[in-house]
């Protein structure tokens, strides 16, 4: 028997004869169940349909691990390769044996860790294929890790040191939402891996944070301020979000502060103001007095 994969979020469930009655992650307000109902698949079914792992080096020491064509919510994982081993941040629904062998050849896989539950993917299958001893899951989000495994190691700390990188909890989207800080990345200027704990915007020049992305529900100003306070001590120049295109190549910390500053400005705009500043001038407005 194979683990069941949710067709919408790509998270894996225990290998039992029938799939669960629902995907708990997609039933939650922060995801969605398709209008025509819950779908289930398996890794074999995805392979028969042509899905394959995709590995891409994003910079020296940082390997992207995705699936092509995109499956689930289309996310890609990241592996930081250091002298003290490999740390894998996030997971996708599928990992091919040859891709796993390539990753294993880079060094011992110290741990799998995650930005948040939407990116748990096929974490247990990945850990088995990669020979990873530990799947690090924050205690506050433990209920969302829906597949059982002896490799799951719950933790409570806000900062978990993992060799060359640090897993840092910033909260927001989920109580355990985290980022992985890699001080040696970007030629020593520092890299932050964020999944959608900080979600890179369409222009690639800032980020946003949300309670629910698909349902467009924002976070409260105090929560956004707490996220910024968690980011404050971390030095980084480059930021990688949860998808191939989600990259802020330089001056990323400034971009985080600028974009979340704007977010706070809009959230706390006084009620007498009817719209944001900077919109197009109404046609004919200049002639209103004439």
Residue 274 CB, nearest approach to Zn ion (Å)? 31
- Residues 31, 28: Cα–Cα separation, whole Å: 6
Q: Which is nearer to Zn ion, 147 or 186 (CB)?
A: 147
Phi, psi of 66 (to 5 degrees): -125, -165
Pick the closer one to Zn ion by CB: 74 or 107: 74
Write out the residues near Zn ion by the rule CB under 5 A. 6, 8-9, 23, 25-26, 118, 196
Give 115's DSSP letter.
S
Is the CB of 15 or the CB of 108 nearer to Zn ion? 15
Tokens in use for 282? 């109404």
Helices 97-104/123-130 angle, 10° precision: 60
Other Cβ atoms less than 10 A from the Cβ of 73: the count is 20
Residue closer to Zn ion, measured from CB, 86 or 209: 209
Residue 9 exposure: Cα atoms within 13 Å on the Cβ side: 26
Q: Which is nearer to Zn ion, 25 or 200 (CB)?
A: 25
Distance between CA atoms of residues 129 and 126, nearest Å: 5
**Shortest distance (Å) from residue 8 CB to Zn ion:** 5
What is the rounded distance in angstroms from the CA atom of residue 272 to the CA atom of residue 44? 57
Least Cβ distance, residue 3 to Zn ion (angstroms) = 13
Query: Which tokens is 228 given?
Result: 């910024």
CB atoms inside a 10 Å sphere around CB 234: 17
Cα gap 169→159, rounded to integer Å: 7
Nearer to Zn ion, 109 or 118 (CB): 118
**Complex with Zn ion: residue 41 or 53, whichever CB lies closer:** 41
Using a 10 angstrom Cβ sphere, with 0-12 exposed, 13-18 middle and 19 or more buried, the burial of residue 13 is buried
Least separation in angstroms between residue 32's CB and Zn ion is 9
Smallest distance from Zn ion to CB 157, Å: 22
Q: How far is the CB of 50 from Zn ion (least distance, A)?
A: 22
End-to-end CA distance of the chain: 78
Least Å from the CB of residue 213 to Zn ion: 6
- Nearer CB in complex with Zn ion: 22/154: 22
196 Cβ neighbours under 8 A, 6+ residues apart? 115, 116, 118, 119, 173, 210, 213, 241, 242
CA angle (147, 148, 152) in 5-degree steps: 105
Nearest approach in angstroms of CB 23 to Zn ion is 3
């Amino acid at each position: 028997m194979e683990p069941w994969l949710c067709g919408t979020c790509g998270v894996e469930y225990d290998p039992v004869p029938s799939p669960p009655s629902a995907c708990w992650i997609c039933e939650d307000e922060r995801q969605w169940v398709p209008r025509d109902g819950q779908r289930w698949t398996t890794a074999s079914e995805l392979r028969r349909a042509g899905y394959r792992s995709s590995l891409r080096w994003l910079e020296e020491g940082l390997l992207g691990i995705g699936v092509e064509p995109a499956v689930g919510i289309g996310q890609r994982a990241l592996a930081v390769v250091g002298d003290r081993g490999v740390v894998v941040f996030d997971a996708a629904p599928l990992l091919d044996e040859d891709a796993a062998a390539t990753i294993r050849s880079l060094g011992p896989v110290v741990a799998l860790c995650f930005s948040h539950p939407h990116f748990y993917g096929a974490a247990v299958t990945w850990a088995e294929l990669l020979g990873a001893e530990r799947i690090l899951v924050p205690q506050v989000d433990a209920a969302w890790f829906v597949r059982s495994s002896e490799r799951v190691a719950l933790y409570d700390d806000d900062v978990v040191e993992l060799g060359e990188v640090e897993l840092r909890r910033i909260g927001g989207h989920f109580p355990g939402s985290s980022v992985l800080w890699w001080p040696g990345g970007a030629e020593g200027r520092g890299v932050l891996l964020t999944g959608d704990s900080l979600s890179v915007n369409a222009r690639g020049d800032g980020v946003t944070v949300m309670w629910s992305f698909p349902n467009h529900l924002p976070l409260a100003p105090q929560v956004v301020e707490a996220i910024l306070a968690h980011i404050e001590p971390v030095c980084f120049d480059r930021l990688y979000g949860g998808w191939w295109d989600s990259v802020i190549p330089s001056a990323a910390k400034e971009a985080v502060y600028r974009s979340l500053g704007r977010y706070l400005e809009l959230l706390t705009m006084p009620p007498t103001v009817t719209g944001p500043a900077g919109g197009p001038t109404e046609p004919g407005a200049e002639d209103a007095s004439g």
